[in-house]
């Protein structure tokens, strides 16, 4: 079964970042080899509009069949607002909540991010998942790319 990985903007930018590029490129290699599918939201596409050209155009280098689209629906917007209302994260980080909500509503296998402050953070993950359970959603796996690449045995 091919794993569906929701990616946020930090993953696309991480491809070119000296600190994150090795693991990020390894994850993109899994995409290229059709070992995973990236779930890409309209929110991600919107956020990429303000990025450097190489970051904006990165996803265009891959076959369209490597991606599954996802949309910020009213359902996801409501879930994101609940994360804020429950004080999992502050209002200024609504886009991070929206990424998590889109991934949750779309029942992805895992959300990948390099955002350790607002997303890949144990206390926040527990908070997001607590809200998800209270609202009738499944919990969501949130990982950084180091945990999603293949290592030699």
Grouping H, G, I as helix, E, B as strand and the rest as coil, residue 113 is coil
What confidence tens digit (pLDDT) does each residue in 50-91 have?
999 999 999 999 999 999 999 999 999 999 999 999 999 999
Alpha carbon distance 58, 83 (integer Å): 30
Range of the domain at 44: 3-147
Report yes or no on 39 lying in a domain.
Answer: yes
Report yes or no on 152 lying in a domain.
Answer: no
Strands (E), 2-148: 3-7, 36-41, 67-70, 110-112, 142-143
Domain count, the chain: 1
What confidence tens digit (pLDDT) does each residue in 100-119 have?
999 999 999 999 999 999 99
Report yes or no on 104 lying in a domain.
Answer: yes
Domain CATH for 74: 3.40.50.1010
Its pTM stands at: 0.95
**pLDDT at position 1:** 84
Contacts of 23 (CB under 8 A, 6+ apart): 14, 144, 145, 146, 149
Query: Residue 151: is its pLDDT beyond 80?
Result: no
Query: Residue 152: is its pLDDT beyond 70?
Result: no
């Amino acid at each position: 079964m091919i794993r569906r990985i929701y990616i946020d903007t930090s993953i696309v930018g991480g491809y070119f970042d000296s600190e994150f590029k090795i693991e990020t490129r390894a994850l993109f290699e899994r995409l290229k080899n059709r070992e995973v599918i990236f779930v890409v939201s309209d929110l991600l596409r919107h956020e990429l509009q303000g990025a450097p050209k190489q970051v904006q155009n990165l996803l265009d280098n891959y076959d369209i069949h490597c991606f599954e689209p996802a949309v910020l629906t009213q359902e996801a917007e409501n879930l994101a607002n609940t994360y804020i209302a429950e004080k999992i994260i502050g209002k200024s980080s609504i886009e991070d909540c929206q990424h998590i909500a889109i991934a949750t509503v779309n029942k992805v296998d895992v959300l990948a991010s390099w955002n350790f402050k607002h997303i890949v953070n144990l206390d926040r993950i527990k908070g997001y998942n607590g809200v998800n359970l209270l609202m009738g959603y499944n919990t969501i796996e949130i990982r950084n790319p180091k945990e999603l690449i293949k290592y030699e045995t």
